[in-house]
Amino acid sequence: MQAIRIEEHGGPEVMRWTELPDPVPGPGEVLVRSAAVGVNYMDVGARAQGGPGWAAPAVLGAEGAGYVTALGAGVEELAVGDRVAWFYHPGSYAELLAVPVAALVKVPDGVSDEVAGGLLMQGLTANHLTTETYPVAPGSTAVVHAAAGGVGQLLTQLVKARGGSVIGLVSRAEKAAVAERAGADHVLVHSGGGFEQQVRELTGGRGADVVYDGGGADTFASSQLSLRPHGVHAYYGPFMGVPTLRPTDLPNSILLSYPVVHHHVATRADLVRRTGELFDLVLDGRLTQRITGRYPLADAARAHADLESRRTTGKLILLP
C-alpha cells in the first residue's frame, strides 16, 4: 500500500508518498480500505513539531472513512463490506489501515464517504464544545473563532441548532460571507486580538456567555475580556500556541476550560452515541459539512500548505 510518511518534523516538504507493507488486523481490529481522509490542523502540528504519539518517523492523519475488507480475531460488531468512519486513529493518510473496533462507527445511508471521512474529528470537537464544555441553550451568545473554518462552521451550526446566537470571527473580509452562510448572526474581521469591545457592544455591554477559541495565544486575552462574569473561555487551540497564565490574570470571575475531545467519547458507546447525534443532524439538514478542498492522497503536502496559508475555508479531504 501507499501512505504519506514523514521521517523528520518540518514543513510540508517532509511529507513523502511511501510504499509500506499492507497492515494485518490483529485481535479486535479490522482492515479498512480508505475512501476519504480528513485533514486537520492537528495534522499540521504533528508534522511540524510532533507531540505525544507523533514522534517521527510516522504516517500522518487521524480520521477517515472507508470499507471493511477483513476482520481480526474476536471482532463481532462489524462485517466485511461495512462502511465505517474512524475517530483518532494515527496513521490515517494511508490506502489501507488496521483500525481498532473501539475507534470505528458505522456510517448510515445518506451520509457520503466524503462527509463521514471528514466529520468526526471536527464534528465531535464542536459537539463537545457546545454540550459538555458549555451547554448552549436558547438565548446563549457564543463567540466563534475562525468561523469560516471547518470547526468554526460546525460550531456555528450547532450553536444555532440549540437556539443560541453567534458572533463569528474571521481573519479576512472575504471569509465573512462563509461565516454568514453557516449561520453567524454577526461577523467581525480580526487577525488577532482587539475584538472585545465590539463583542461587548453587540451584547449590550454584558459580554458573551462562551468563547470558542481555537485562535491561539494571540487571541487569548481578548477572548477572556469578551466574556460576561462566569462566562466560559473554551480554549482548544494548543497547536496554535499556549500562553503563560497566572490564575489572577483571569478577568471577571470567568471560567477557563481546556476541552479534550477524547473525554467526550471516552468509550465506544460514547463514540457511537455522539457520532449518531452528528449523523442525525446531517441527515435532517441541520448540519452541513462544507468540503472546499479535495486532493489526491499523494498530494497531501499541498493540502497542508493550503491549510497553513489560512486562505482555505471549510473542510479539506484526501482521496486515495
Over the stretch 142-181, which tens digit does the pLDDT of each residue have?
A: 999 999 988 999 999 999 999 999 999 998 899 999 999 9
CA atoms of 240 and 161, how far apart (whole Å): 28
Which residue is it, cell 494511508? 94
- Sorted by sequence, the CB contacts under 8 Å of residue 246 that are 6+ apart come out as none
In the chain, domain spans: 2-120+263-319, 138-258
* Whether 103 contacts 120, CB under 8 Å: no
* 140 SS3 class: coil
Domain topology for 138-258: Rossmann fold (3.40.50)
- 76 exposure class (CB count in 10 Å sphere: 0-12, 13-18, 19+): exposed
Residue 50's pLDDT is what?
93
CA atoms of 37 and 294, how far apart (whole Å): 10
* 143 SS3 class: strand
* 126 SS3 class: helix
Residue 72's pLDDT is what?
98
pLDDT tier for residue 239 given thresholds of 50, 70 and 90? low
For the whole model, what pTM was predicted? 0.93
Degrees, nearest 5: CA angle 304-166-145: 30
Distances (CA, A) of 319 to 43, 66, 67, 200: 16, 11, 14, 43
For residue 54, pLDDT beyond 80: yes
CA atoms of 288 and 293, how far apart (whole Å): 15
For residue 252, pLDDT beyond 80: no
Residue 310: closest CA among 224, 165, 189: 189
Q: Which residue has the higher pLDDT, 252 or 209?
A: 209
Give me the half-sphere count of Cα atoms (radius 13 Å) on the Cβ side of residue 290. 20
| Of 48-52, 195-199, 306-310, highest mean pLDDT | 195-199
* Whether 181 contacts 157, CB under 8 Å: no
Give start and end residues of each alpha helix (H) in the chain. Answer: 41-48, 113-128, 150-161, 176-182, 196-202, 220-225, 268-283, 300-308
Query: Which CATH number is correct for 2-120+263-319, 3.40.50.2300, 3.90.180.10, 2.60.40.10, 3.40.190.10?
Result: 3.90.180.10
* Whether 154 contacts 212, CB under 8 Å: no
CA atoms of 61 and 86, how far apart (whole Å): 11
**Residue 145: in which H helix or E strand, if any?**
none
The DSSP 8-state label assigned to residue 129 in this structure reads I
Q: Which stretch of 201-215, 253-267, 301-315 has the lowest confidence by average pLDDT?
A: 301-315
For residue 52, pLDDT beyond 90: no
Q: What is the mean pLDDT of the segment spanning 43-63?
A: 94
